[in-house]
Amino acid sequence: MFLEGSIQVPPDKSISHRSIMFGAMAHGVTRVHHFLKSEDCLATLNLFKALGVTIYEEGNQLVIVGKGVSSFQPPSEAIDVGNSGTTLRLVSGLLATCCFPITLTGDASLSSRPMDRVLQPLRKMGVTSQGQGEKETLPLILQGTSCLKPIQYHLPVASAQVKSALLFAALQAEGTSLIVEKELTRNHTEEMIRLFGGDIQVTGKQIQLTGPQQLTGTTLFVPGDISSAAFFIVAGLCVPNSHIWLTNVGLSETRTGILDIVQQMGGKVQVHPHSDTDYTGDIDVQASELVGTTISGSLIPRAIDELPVIALLATQATGRTVIKDAEELKVKETNRIDATVCELKKLGADIESTEDGMIINGPTPLHGGVVNSYQDHRMAMMLKIASLLVSPKETVQIKGEDAVKVSYPEFNQDLLKIINQ
């Protein structure tokens, strides 16, 4: 068995979320081409519909009729955002000037994820919130203020979600906010502020923004999601004699950590940018002999969502791979450090967890077994790729495989297209 063929990975989840958020808070019509219709992004769409925003499909476009945050209407009931941490965390800042209470709920996984890291700085700006316990988990009641204050804040964690929540709030605050990142994280929010006509200054890890600002509706195309492409990159590198071509993938420098990691490991991956100004391109992947490496520091935020499948990649590399500085993995859809280690061990991997990451020794032949996705979409897809690496006489049974619908509903169909017996 080998993998061969071309795949157009689904639209970028992070940008799809933000396209609705910015479209709703802007004034005028926003048209989004290549929107991701996954469960997470539909949670964002339904939230803004519940707030009275007009959103509809027109041909292959998603149309958002924005009238500004002041036009939002009180929802008739609590808003369920499902499993979407991006929705929950980012709208907590976007709703900072809504002067009526909004109750947000989610599924069991999202309800266990901490919100204190977002709510603490937002309270300094004037937002009122009421979560559950010390970590302020769901259900959560938010109420904004008409007198939102700017903030000067050093992020204690490298989190694009916390940063983005504060930027959404800062756009509406009276005065200048300064946000300093611990490490550079994905910059989609900053780029989209500019795309919607906003003014923002970024110098290294410092972000300065003066509000209030009125954004203007626009037209945008959502590129393919490199986090979804990552599973095929790893599959193409690890399955002998494979050659895969991934098209129209987003190549923002803040998201391409996996490409740098693969290069460190000796992987045969070639990137073909479409142009110097368009951050998209095609990725050519060939089966490779890999070596272990150390993944840490500024690389981690640029590959945070890909680390579980990178751990799988490391099981097939010669030598030791060390992943560290990755504590943020503990507060994803599940504790992805413990989950990755536990499930790959079931398949025979030589892998151990550490306080802030993992240590993997390879190469290790994997065998069949029964594994669990923990209803985490990235765990489910990682384990599906792992199943390609076991003997044809063995099978891998994945509990909760349907979690892929959160970000990549057509994942299994796309994988079947490139499997050659």
Residue type, 420: N
User: Residue ranges for the binding site?
Assistant: 13-14, 18, 85, 113, 159, 161, 305, 332, 336, 378
Which of 221, 256, 277 represents a domain boundary (last residue)?
221
| H/E element, 409 | none
The C-alpha atoms of residue 238 and residue 145 are separated, in whole angstroms, by 53
150 and 237 co-located in one domain = no
- Backbone angles phi and psi of 141, in degrees to 5: -110, 125
Token digits for 416? 């079947």
**Does one domain contain both 87 and 176?**
yes
Nearest Cα to 324, choosing from 291, 349, 350, 360? Answer: 360
Q: Which one-letter amino acid corresponds to residue 237?
A: L
Q: What is the CATH number of the domain that holds 148?
A: 3.65.10.10
- pLDDT score at 421: 76
Does one domain contain both 292 and 206? no
pLDDT given for residue 275 in this prediction? 83
Catalytic residues: 305
Rounding to the nearest 10 degrees, give the CA dihedral for residues 272, 22, 63, 72: 160
Q: Which of 2, 5, 32, 27 is nearest to 17 (CA)?
A: 32
pLDDT at 3: 98
Residue 134's Cβ-count burial label (10 Å; 0-12, 13-18, 19+) is exposed
Whether 258 is covered by a domain: the verdict is yes
Say how far apart CA 188 and CA 68 lie, in whole Å: 20
Domain edge (last residue) among 201, 221, 241: 221
- Which of 221, 244, 267 terminates a domain? The answer is 221
Q: Are residues 217 and 227 in the same domain?
A: no
Same domain, residue pair 298 and 379: yes
Per-residue pLDDT of the chain (421 residues; tens, 9 = 90+): 999 999 999 999 999 999 999 999 999 999 999 999 999 999 999 999 999 999 999 999 999 999 999 999 999 999 999 999 999 999 999 999 999 999 999 999 999 999 999 999 999 999 999 999 999 999 999 999 999 999 999 999 999 999 999 999 999 999 999 999 999 999 999 999 999 999 999 999 999 999 999 999 999 999 999 999 999 999 999 999 999 999 999 999 999 999 999 999 999 999 999 987 678 999 999 999 999 999 999 999 999 999 999 999 999 999 999 999 999 999 888 899 999 999 999 999 999 999 999 999 999 999 999 999 999 999 999 999 999 999 999 999 999 999 999 999 999 999 999 999 7
DSSP state of 72: -
137, 90: one domain: yes
* Structural domain includes residue 67: yes
Main-chain phi, psi angles of 308, to 5 degrees: -60, -45
Contact 403, 380 (CB under 8 A): yes
Crossing angle of helices 85-94/13-25, nearest 10°? 30
Cα–Cα–Cα angle for 13, 16, 18, rounded to 5 degrees: 110
Binding residues for phosphoenolpyruvate are: 13, 85, 113, 161, 336, 378
Please give the annotated binding residues for 3-phosphoshikimate, written as ranges.
Answer: 13-14, 18, 159, 161, 305, 332
Query: Does any domain span residue 323?
Result: yes
Residues with Cβ within 8 Å of residue 66, at least 6 apart in sequence? 23, 24, 25, 26, 27, 28, 29, 30, 53, 215, 217
Into how many domains does the chain fold? Answer: 2
Q: Per the domain annotation, does 271 fall within a domain?
A: yes
> Is the domain of 371 the same as that of 391?
yes
Q: Is 142 in the same domain as 258? A: no
Q: Are residues 357 and 347 in the same domain?
A: yes
Count the Cβ atoms, other than its own, within 10 Å of residue 370.
12
8 occurs within a structural domain: no
Task: Let me know if residue 113 belongs to a domain.
Answer: yes
Q: Which long-range contacts (CB under 8 A, 24 or more apart) does 71-74 make?
A: 72/24, 72/98, 74/100, 74/101, 74/102
CB 197 within 8 A of CB 173: no
Whether residues 194 and 229 share a domain: the answer is: no
Structural domain of 137: 13-221
Going by C-beta distance under 8 Å and a sequence separation of 6 or more, which residues neighbour residue 417? Answer: 5, 7
Q: Which residues pair with 357 in a beta bridge?
A: 354
Distance CA 338, CA 307 (A): 12
DSSP state of 206: E
- Residue 151 contacts residue 126 (beta carbons within 8 Å): no
- In 3D space, the residue among 151, 82, 85 whose CA is nearest the CA of residue 120 turns out to be 151
Judge whether 351 and 307 are in contact, CB under 8 Å. no
pTM: 0.94
Q: Do 255 and 377 belong together in one domain?
A: yes
Evaluate whether residue 40 is within a structural domain: yes
Whole-angstrom distance, CA of residue 221 vs CA of residue 229: 18
What are the tokens at 16? 């799809």
Question: Is the domain of 306 the same as that of 356?
Answer: yes
In a domain, 2, yes or no: no
What is the distance between the alpha carbons of residues 2 and 69, in angstroms, rounded to a whole number? 51
For 308: left if phi > 0, alpha if psi spans -120 to 50, otherwise beta; the answer is alpha
